[in-house]
Amino acid sequence: MRIGVPKEIKVHEYRVGMTPSSVREAVHQGHEVLVEKGAGFATGLLDEQYAAAGARLVDTAEEIFAEAEMIVKVKEPQPSELKMLREGQLLFTYLHLAPDPEQARALIQSGAIAIAYETVTDARGGLPLLAPMSEVAGRMSIQAGAHCLEIGQGGRGMLLGGVPGVPAAKVVILGGGVSGTNAARMAMGLEAHVTVIDVNLRRLYELDLQFGASLNTIYSTVDAIEEHVLGADLVIGAVLVPGGASPKLVSEEMVKRMKKGSVLVDIAIDQGGCFATSRPTTHAEPTYIKHGVVHYCVANMPAAVARTSTFALNNATLPFILALADKGYARAFGENPHLLAGLNVYRGRITHQAVADALGVAYHPAAGVLAA
């Protein structure tokens, strides 16, 4: 199969879909890999390394999209890229379609076969291609939140861990999944007072066993969220509905009642965000202040540590890239229901239930459209 790796063009996105090591694996198995020149430059992955791994370097993204049978990216295709997709072409990347009807419409019109990293599953019910970036985003959320608490950023002027004789900041994390757990670990490491709120009692039990008395675990109710959010200095939104839009757990009225200079970091912004006042921001302008509360809502947080993120992502995606290339999508889907769960758009039809529900469009079961 001919695999194409274009340079990412989303604002301040520096990750790359395949590393030279991943390219070498694909070439070793008999595939051809086209890489746009400069695609990995920002992460220290040079064109010379890609060439040595067996890639064919090309000058433009147009050449990639015109020749490749499968496009491997990191972030959702931007408008100029959507126009270059063609019928039957495989697209393997993060999509986050639930809050993005325009992208969904363009993918439907293209006739392409779009597989979303974030809905591929595993035998334990996890999301193996989302997990590495959730780990990065969870850890980064505390770094970002601590910075935003500084006076110069509009924050309350608090040191997250305090100092002897001065209270540490109160950190509340909504969601105890992969990103929430990593956020909790970082916040506890900085000696903040940390509370995780989740609706899953089993997960709260696991967190309690893992972290003990250092972590406060609370069952999620409207009352509990309100009580803890209003008392917090830093709130991390880490709620995930696989493929679907994030629930708005913090209302605008609640934000108005928060302490002046407190901080909201919305990891869930890729799926629409879990704060009513959230709107996507970029690394160029990561924050804004609304109702006296600092909002950090960068939609591609892991891009700030692009080298770490690229290698972590490639470790997870490579087996699926090779399966699609070795077997073709039909056989790969047929043999692996977890990969099939990643299929979001197939030749003009939405094939993921949560995505269809969020967009208010017809749902076509993936197995059915493939069989037809």
Give whole-number Cα distances, 173 to 242, 251, 254, 346, in Å: 18, 16, 16, 36
Q: What separation, in Å, do the N-terminal and C-terminal C-alpha atoms of the chain show? A: 24
270 is catalytic: yes
- Say if residue 242's pLDDT is above 90: no
Phi, psi of 283 (to 5 degrees): -65, -25
User: Which one of the listed residues 31, 96, 193, 364 is annotated catalytic?
Assistant: 96
Q: pLDDT tens-digit profile of 10-21?
A: 999 999 999 999
Confidence of residue 125 (pLDDT cuts 50, 70, 90): confident
Q: Kindly name the residue from 100, 198, 233, 270 that is annotated as catalytic.
A: 270
Beta bridge partners of 265: 236, 296
The per-residue DSSP string of 186-240 comes to HHHHTT-EEEEEES-HHHHHHHHHHHGGGEEEEE--HHHHHHHHHT-SEEEE---
The yes-or-no answer on residue 59 being catalytic is no
What average pLDDT does range 274-302 have in this prediction?
Answer: 97
Mean pLDDT of 151-175: 97
Predicted pLDDT of residue 360 = 95
SS3 163: strand
Q: What is the pLDDT of residues 176-186, one digit of tens each?
A: 999 999 999 99
DSSP state of 298: B
